[in-house]
Amino acid sequence: MTEKRLRHLSFGRALFDLLSSMRFAIGLLTVLAIASVIGTVLKQNEPYVNYRIEFGDFWFGFFEPLGLFDVYHSAWFLLILVFLVISVSLCIWRHLPGMLRDIRSFREHATHNSLRLMAHHAEADGEPAHEAIEAGLTQAGFRFRVRDTDGVRLYAAKKGAGQRLGYFFAHTAIVVICIGGLLDGNLPLKLRELTGSKAPELRDLPQSQVPPQSRLGTDNPAFRGNVTVPEGGTADVVFLNAGQGYFVQDLPFALRLKQFHVEHYSTGQPKRFASDVEILDRANGKVLKSATIEVNKPLVFDGIAIYQSSFGDGGSPLTFARWDLGGPAQAQTVQAQSQSSQPLQAAGRDYTLEFGDLRVFNIENMGRTEAETSTVAVNRFEQALADAQSVKADHNLRNLGPSVQFKLRDAAGQAVEYLNYLAPFSADDALYLLSGVRREVSQPFAFVRIPLDDAVTPATFMRLRATLLDPALYPEIARRTAEKAFQGGGFSATKREQFEEVTKNVLAQFGSGGFPALDRFLVQAKVPEAQRTSVAQTYLKILQGAAIDALDVAQARAGQPAIAMDGAHYRFLMDSLVATSAMFEYGAPVYLQPTGFEEVQASGFQLARAPGQAIVYLGCLLLVIGIYCMFYLREERLWLRSANGRTLLAMTANRHDSELDKSFARYRALLLPEPAPEETPDART
């Protein structure tokens, strides 16, 4: 029984020594420092889909179990904080009594031999006057005690003993800061998750339908969440990201956004944004407080800080001109609203339009490097027309104006995302409408430039495109093209018929897939590689000539006058060929041209209850005091021993440096008796 008890005490002592050791605490601090670096470099507490897009499935699967996407609230981080509090507290409890004894002690029992063993000591004959010693010590700022024993008088003096308190303040600061971190890390919620009483909601539900297991009451001691409120709207909850789900945090009040203000620089970038808000009583709707919130100027109410974090769209009414890409070139008006969805029928199929945000300002760098410009043309036909869509400036920051982002989802659930701009885009004295498309969220948008006519509308392009894709019109276009080519006679009818057939074939190939289809046709026709470039140039000239006649046919069918083919209109025609070819990869049966909007702005707020904030501030103050005591206070101890007509002065300090040498020399001159002058030979005689 005694051996078991000894073994138990031995293990307990070993555990105590481990937890209270400086090495253990330093190890924990090192791990926390590394974790803090990760939390600083890696953006924290984002929706997990953003991390999956950024890092890919492999690294996401590696980082997610480690909790690296929310380091400061992860279980292992909070556990390290708990162990650090225990370790540093035990260190303080273990060393504080001895440190306090040392601070209170004057060490007045120092022996003659121990004083002589000190590096800084000196002896002199004679004994100085007691009054002079006490006055000198007091003048130098020492506190001292006097001990008389058997004819030996010992002065034990000290100053700067508060330097030892730096250890206490610094270690206490670590404990206090960690406690504040544990409070703000919402340790109670983590414990409730471990016990299963709370669990994050993984489904995309309206907040009113979130079950109680995923809701947090107003008594939750700490939280930090976000909410977006449109102008005129009210919010009484915030959403807390929790891994791949979220919690709904009820607020003790309601937050209403009266008006949002934003100011912009000349480039369109935001210069200042602020929100006029009201705090409402949830029970009766009474206004409790009104204020304006700006960046770095939060509103604090009922212990909750409300920060201005972002701004955006709040559900704006939108107007589109719908151009059916597989039907007649006529526009239809479509009414919609951002951040909503509505059905769409096109080409005999059912789709769902899912609108995202309206962005009024879009600052983009429209410059391209040489390598990026060369990738515009993916085959020999597009290479010949690359100048129609290349941007020459290397750095060209421009405000592209309002844009609407939306998804077109088919009945099978597959979605293609689009980004359409409302304002015309100007490049090389030509105007375009930009429409971006992407099939994966992780990919950048690929843009199609839709050329605009003299009336700054896409109507002429849409008529020309419909004509180029209508096989029934190819004979008429080929006839007109051949008539111009063989104008003046001199060629047989057989050659003219062959030319018309070639023209119709070129139109058919282009109408089936654009320039890539023409390129594939050269390969399928087994044109030798050495001759493909010249054949491609011939086909391109035929297509360019046919496009002019196609434009005339399109105008005539629409009852519009013919367009004179000058340099600007020829550029429009070539741009139309490029856009028509690009539309084959567009992936939508319609083009939705934004034509108007009524902006409804929304403000993004971050609300935080941080009871540990004041505690962390206290810890920082203690840390500053501790650093000051350790590095700027100097502890000095001095002993003056008088006995048998001789006086011994000894001194030590917490730092042995040149300053100690200077202090010792000064105190030696002040406290030791002057040596008697040596007698000269004349005096002896």
Specify the pLDDT at position 373.
35
Q: Please give the Cα distance from 663 to 32 (Å, whole number).
A: 42
CB crowding 96-135: b at 16 or more within 10 Å, else e: eeeeeeeeeebeeebeeeebeebebbeebeebbeeeebee
Q: Please give the Cα distance from 432 to 255 (Å, whole number).
A: 43
Specify the pLDDT at position 626.
93
DSSP 492-510: -HHHHHHHHHHHHHHHHHH
Beta strands 287-294 and 270-280: pairing type? Answer: antiparallel
Q: Please give the Cα distance from 576 to 624 (Å, whole number).
A: 69
Q: Please give the Cα distance from 380 to 538 (Å, whole number).
A: 12
Q: Please give the Cα distance from 657 to 303 (Å, whole number).
A: 51
Specify the pLDDT at position 22.
84
Say if CB 601 and CB 231 are below 8 A apart: yes
Specify the pLDDT at position 375.
36
Q: At how many degrees (to 10) do helices 529-557 and 474-485 cross?
A: 110
Q: Residue 470 class from Cβ within 10 Å (0-12 exposed, 13-18 middle, 19+ buried)?
A: middle
Output the six-digit token pair for 600.
């409804």
526 vs 384, 519, 535, 539, 648, CA distance in Å? 21, 11, 12, 15, 112
Strand partners, 215: 248
User: What pTM was computed for the model?
Assistant: 0.66
DSSP 105-157: ---TT--HHHHHTSSEEEEEES---HHHHHHHHHHTT-EEEEEEETTEEEEEE
Sign, Cα dihedral of 470, 473, 479, 480 = negative
Specify the pLDDT at position 635.
92
Say if CB 379 and CB 516 are below 8 A apart: yes
Q: What is the pLDDT of residues 196-218, one digit of tens each?
A: 889 999 888 888 899 999 999 99
The DSSP output letter for 273 is E
Q: Please give the Cα distance from 577 to 567 (Å, whole number).
A: 16
Which of 145, 167, 95, 170 is closest to 654 using CA atoms?
167
Indicate the helix (H) or strand (E) that contains 594.
Answer: strand 590-597
List the chain residues with pLDDT less than 50.
1-2, 6, 368-378, 380, 384, 386-394, 490, 678-685
The DSSP output letter for 395 is S
Sign, Cα dihedral of 511, 512, 513, 517 = negative
Strand partners, 280: 254, 287
Specify the pLDDT at position 537.
87
Amino acid sitting at position 509: Q
Query: In degrees, to the nearest 5, what angle opens at C-alpha 522 toward C-alphas 519 and 528?
Result: 130
Specify the pLDDT at position 195.
84
Specify the pLDDT at position 59.
86
* CA-CA-CA-CA dihedral for 447, 450, 456, 462, to nearest 10: -150
Q: Which residues contact 392 (CB under 8 A, 6 or more apart)?
A: 428
Phi, psi dihedrals of residue 614, rounded to the nearest 5°: -65, -35
